[in-house]
């Protein structure tokens, strides 16, 4: 089966999924040894990951996000930090990370609503 994406979806995937992950990776890894303030290095990659994750859910469901998916995203955001707090996965569980996840996830949803209104 041949899978074709519209020009809009390709652009959406690039700007809302790939670019945030790439930028977050650059900030986190800092391959150019640039001075990056600690708060920016610690929290922005997490926020960009949450933005990308939420955007991925939105692209899969054609921009229609139900309360089920919002609840599932919320559980994923909280669970990820709980797993870090309990040393099940690497990282430090941080309540501020959860807040960042929610803020960036909501930004993705609101941006999606604005984009879809302009497309109508």
- The 10s digit of each residue's pLDDT in 94-119 is 899 999 999 999 999 999 888 877 76
Q: Based on the number of CB atoms within 10 Å of its own CB, is 76 exposed (0-12), middle (13-18) or buried (19 or more)?
A: middle
Tokens matching residue 84: 């870090």
Q: How confident is the model at residue 2 (pLDDT cuts 50, 70, 90)?
A: very low
Q: Contact 105/77 with Cβ under 8 angstroms?
A: yes
């Amino acid at each position: 089966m041949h899978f074709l994406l519209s020009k809009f979806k390709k652009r959406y995937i690039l700007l809302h999924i790939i670019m945030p992950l790439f930028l977050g990776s650059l900030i986190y890894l800092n391959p150019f040894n640039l001075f990056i303030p600690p708060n920016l290095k610690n929290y922005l990659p997490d926020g960009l990951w949450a933005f990308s994750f939420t955007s991925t859910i939105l692209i899969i469901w054609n921009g229609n996000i139900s309360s089920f998916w919002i609840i599932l995203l919320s559980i994923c955001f909280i669970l990820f930090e709980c797993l870090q707090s309990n040393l099940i996965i690497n990282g430090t569980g941080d309540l501020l990370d959860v807040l960042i996840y929610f803020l960036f996830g909501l930004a993705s949803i609101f941006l999606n609503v604005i984009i879809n209104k302009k497309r109508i």
